[in-house]
Structure 1
Amino acid sequence: MTYTLPIETDRLTLRRYVESDYDDLLKLQSNPDVTRFLLYDPKTPEQVKETLASRLADVPMDGPDQALTVAVIQRETGQHVGEVTLFVESFDHQGGEIGFVFHPEFHGRGFAAEAAIELLRLGFEELEMHRIIGRLDAANTGSAKLLKRLGMRQEALFRQNEFLKGEWTDEAVFAMLRDEWIKRS
């Protein structure tokens, strides 16, 4: 599977991580408001170094359980505003999953939607995926609204599906098919 980076939009550049992104990634992944709905707690500086090392690795996207995570940079300022990820769930079934994490100070500006649309485009048009899902803690209403704005539909609500951070959480699953993407585009 091949894909083209960086991706340029009107306001953003989606690119591979570089060593100098460490401080921004630390600011993102150590923030309890950011990690509230994620699978991990706020990370230590050492854990963020490990995360950055994995982000710097060249990901060929040539097998299941691969992920492409790119830094989202505001073009006007050069500021790191967040990251988006496209996971390969299954090559046989041409399935993927999208995820996004943004600095709270950049919420409400449309950056997450602008970046996520490009990852959906990459998944459907360049990687020829048939179906892309978005999974999230059902209490994360902001992300659910974003997935709906992207044209994804909610397909499932799994009650008390995961035990995270000391409590049972509900999981919502949204999805889009390539045919739906083509119609939307």
Structure 2
Amino acid sequence: MTTLSLPVSTERLLLRRFTPDDLDDLYAYQGLPDVARYLYRPPLTREQCAQLLARRTAGTAWAEDGDALAVAVCPAGEAKVVGEVTLKLAGARTRQVEIGWSLNPAYEGRGYATEAARATAGSAFAELGAHRLFARLDVLNTGSVRVCERLGMRREAHLVENDLDGERWGSEYVYATLAREWKAGRT
């Protein structure tokens, strides 16, 4: 099984695997309409969060399209999970990896999403052998747009009304960076 070397400490965060004890913290943000609205799905129930947590703690082989790894984001010195960064193997043969993040709104505006995404993206290139890392996000999600831009990702696409959330059509941006660009930006 391929996995990331965790835990990882950044300047202000600890990135670690999810554990069964994280249910309350996971539900605290995954159950919120403000978080779900940019994910094109309804808020998760506590039972759905428990099922999600069970899949995350079981791990993945990281070998087939659709395999995913999720990293719990905790402020340094705290056991509390305030968000997550997820890597999804979108193309095993072409080493295309999708990155996404969700943060408890109570912790937004502190740079945690950027800090956690930067560390996880670095691991995707260094440890998982990603060739291209991309993020798909709702165009109204200005916070995630800023995260992508802070990470040095370029906007590659603007898909207009490509997803339906209940009665609302959503448009999407695609941001990406290549392994060589990531490395050049870090040296």
TM norm structure 1: 0.95
Change (3 A) 1:89 1:10: same
1:25-62 superposed Cα distances (whole Å, 9 cap, x missing partner): 11111111111211221111111111111111122212
Percent identity of the aligned residues?
A: 41
Identify the residue that residue 144 of structure 2 maps to in structure 1.
143
Does the alignment pair 1:127 with 2:116?
Answer: no
3-state DSSP class of the match of 1:80? coil
Distance (Å, rounded) in 1 between the aligned partners of 2:62 and 2:30: 24
Distance (Å, rounded) in 2 between the aligned partners of 1:2 and 1:48: 22
Deviation (angstroms), 1:2: 4.7
Identify the residue that residue 8 of structure 1 maps to in structure 2.
9
Answer yes or no: is the 8 Å Cα contact 2:155–2:173 preserved in 1: yes
Answer yes or no: is the 8 Å Cα contact 2:29–2:35 preserved in 1: yes
One-letter identity of the residue aligned with 2:134? I
Deviation (angstroms), 1:102: 0.3
Change (3 A) 1:48 1:3: closer
Which stretches of structure 1, 4 residues or more, deviate above 2 A after TM superposition? 76-79
Answer yes or no: is the 8 Å Cα contact 2:40–2:163 preserved in 1: no
Change (3 A) 1:35 1:6: same
Identify the residue that residue 83 of structure 1 maps to in structure 2.
84
1:67-82 superposed matches below 5 A: 67-82=68-83
Unaligned runs of 5+ in 2: none
1:159-178 superposed matches below 5 A: 159-178=160-179
Distance (Å, rounded) in 2 between the aligned partners of 1:58 and 1:86: 12
Does the alignment pair 1:32 with 2:33?
Answer: yes
1:72-115 superposed Cα distances (whole Å, 9 cap, x missing partner): 11112332110000111112111101000001111111111111
Identify the residue that residue 45 of structure 1 maps to in structure 2.
46
Deviation (angstroms), 1:3: 2.8
Distance (Å, rounded) in 2 between the aligned partners of 1:178 and 1:62: 19
Distance (Å, rounded) in 1 between the aligned partners of 2:176 and 2:95: 13
Distance (Å, rounded) in 1 between the aligned partners of 2:58 and 2:78: 26
Unaligned runs of 5+ in 1: none
- Farther-moved stretch of structure 1 (82-91 vs 56-65): 56-65
3-state DSSP class of the match of 2:156? strand
- Farther-moved stretch of structure 1 (129-138 vs 36-45): 36-45
3-state DSSP class of the match of 2:175? strand
Identify the residue that residue 102 of structure 1 maps to in structure 2.
103
Deviation (angstroms), 1:125: 1.0
3-state DSSP class of the match of 2:143? helix
Aligned length: 185
TM norm structure 2: 0.94
One-letter identity of the residue aligned with 2:117? A
Answer yes or no: is the 8 Å Cα contact 2:59–2:69 preserved in 1: no
